[in-house]
Amino acid sequence: MELCTVETTNGKIRGLIHSGICHFKGVPYGASTEGANRFRRPRRPTPWSGVRDCLGYGPVSPQAPYDARDDYARLIQFDLNVAFGGISEDCLHLNIWTPGMGRNQKRAVLVSIHGGGFSISSGNHPMYDGAALASFGDVVVVTVTHRLASFGYLNLADLDPRGPWEDSGSAGILDLIAALEWIRDNIENFGGNPNRVMLFGQSGGGWKVSTLLGMPPAQGLFHRAAIQSGSLTTHASRETSATVAQSFIERLGLTTATLDRIRTMPWSQLLAAQTAVGAGLFAPVPDGRHIDTDPLSEAELSAWDAVPLIVSTTLDDAGLFFNHFDLTELQLSELLRAQYGPAGMTLQKLYREYFPAKSPYLLHAQIITDAGFRRFAHAQAEAKAARKRAPVYTYLWEWTSSAYDGKFGAAHAMDVSASFHNVRDAILGSGSREAQSMCVALASTWVAFANTADPNNSHIPYWPPFEEAERATMVFDQNTRIERNPHGELREFWRDMPAAASVLG
């Protein structure tokens, strides 16, 4: 077994060399968040003497294991969210893969923020394994584990304004800023270039990247960004988040007068309350202090100006919300009429003309995708392009995996594995020739963008920046190509729909 050692600002760490790549796992970028540090902004880790072994993953933020009986959960291995590293509030860790150390290497650094909304998963999930991408692209890859759900986004500040809770509603996002600061201060010793950092995330990871783009403390910590199926998340209002927090503390048997006791309760008790209230209800709080209340405000948009951006969706993103694979055409008609009223029949006819052979399940998935994920991605790309500063590029992932007999179509998260060049992942069909080709196309794009802030490379057609008039979009499929205004009639339909009619589900 061959080992490698690197000096960090907190002390020396030891990693494992495997297949030509140095792996460092469970590298602390912050102190434990338990006890006195609970619900507070992250603290720096305590320095250590000697050499610290970073040979295995660190603990993940407390979360309930996902139900693996769901086909989509098995497809993306959601049952492995808590399988590596255990569970603990000592969860502020990085995983780093590098082809070689040394301050003179100056490789591009690709930092992945994991998905799972704001409530589940971690940077330890197999989908985010960075070894293949580090080897393929000669780059440094970093994944991050941080606080989630109530541990990262509990709005206590509005329950007890005079208490020490000013950071409680955005602690998980502040963790990510601390991680990026650690990368800035240390990544040169891992062969990386702190001035060439690409931040990317899918779904909840994209929401986090969207949030970080507009936060002043994050400015200058990354230099290009990619958002996959996670554009412009609308955070819960302060009033709603305060209501959720009130329900949460009542589950714990607390009142605002006894709130201090929340720091001494075991995390398992907090997790039980979080599960009862609903982990998905916790999200960063738009308090006007850390996070703006409007994701498209002038202040937010101006913060994006210097950062070249990739914005994307998959064709059937919203399929993760449904399991009615045996849906009939008649049942689809009834479902659309219930969701959209008289416009439901127009929707079905319009989409069926575009996609005559698509199953009713996938047609419904695409309709809901266009109403939400894609509509937000269009808005984000348009707002970025209108600034006429750093460019924005858009892509649509249409390639369908053969996994589960192709019933999920171009599924949510399929492009994550491809961007990491993880050909063997089940969601891509476990190593087929087509999957290899798709991995090369998207991973090459990631590497080019990280290195030059331009996604163009020899494995894809020429990709012009997005402009609202032309709407040039890369379509990743068996015949990867540029399309101008893909599915434009469908996009125009949703542009004219009232916002309330476009919400998911």
Per-residue confidence in pLDDT tens, the chain, 505 aa: 799 999 999 999 999 999 999 999 999 999 999 999 999 999 999 999 999 999 999 999 999 988 778 888 888 888 787 878 899 999 999 999 999 998 899 999 999 999 999 999 999 999 999 999 999 999 999 999 999 999 999 999 999 998 899 999 999 999 999 999 999 999 999 999 999 999 999 999 999 999 999 999 999 999 999 999 999 766 778 999 999 999 999 999 999 999 999 999 999 999 999 999 999 999 999 888 888 767 777 777 788 899 999 999 999 999 989 999 999 999 999 999 998 998 899 999 999 999 999 999 999 999 999 999 999 999 999 999 999 999 999 999 999 988 888 899 999 999 999 999 998 887 887 778 889 999 999 999 999 999 999 999 999 999 999 999 999 999 999 999 999 999 999 999 998 776 544 433 3
Q: Is residue 16 part of a domain?
A: yes
Q: Is residue 172 part of a domain?
A: yes
Q: Is residue 234 part of a domain?
A: no
Domain count across the chain? 2
Do 149 and 10 share a structural domain? yes
Query: What is the chain's length?
Result: 505
Q: Residue 140: which CATH number? A: 3.40.50.1820
Q: How far apart are CA 417 and CA 216, in angstroms?
A: 31
The domain boundary residue, chosen from 228, 257, 289 = 289
Q: Is residue 321 part of a domain?
A: yes
Q: Which domain holds residue 33?
A: 2-86+104-199+282-289
Do 316 and 177 share a structural domain? no
The domain boundary residue, chosen from 289, 323, 345 = 289
Do 24 and 148 share a structural domain? yes
Q: Is residue 92 part of a domain?
A: no
The domain boundary residue, chosen from 224, 256, 289 = 289
Give backbone dihedrals phi and psi of 411, rounded to 5 degrees, phi first.
-75, 155
Picking from 186, 190, 127, 87, the residue whose alpha carbon sits closest to that of residue 412 is 127
Q: Is residue 147 part of a domain?
A: yes
Q: Is residue 142 part of a domain?
A: yes
- The two beta strands, 224-228 and 309-314, are parallel
What would the DSSP string read from start to end of 424-477? T-GGGTSS-HHHHHHHHHHHHHHHHHHHHS----TTS---PPP-TTT-EEEEES
Do 320 and 191 share a structural domain? no
Q: What is the pTM of this model?
A: 0.95
Q: Is residue 352 part of a domain?
A: yes
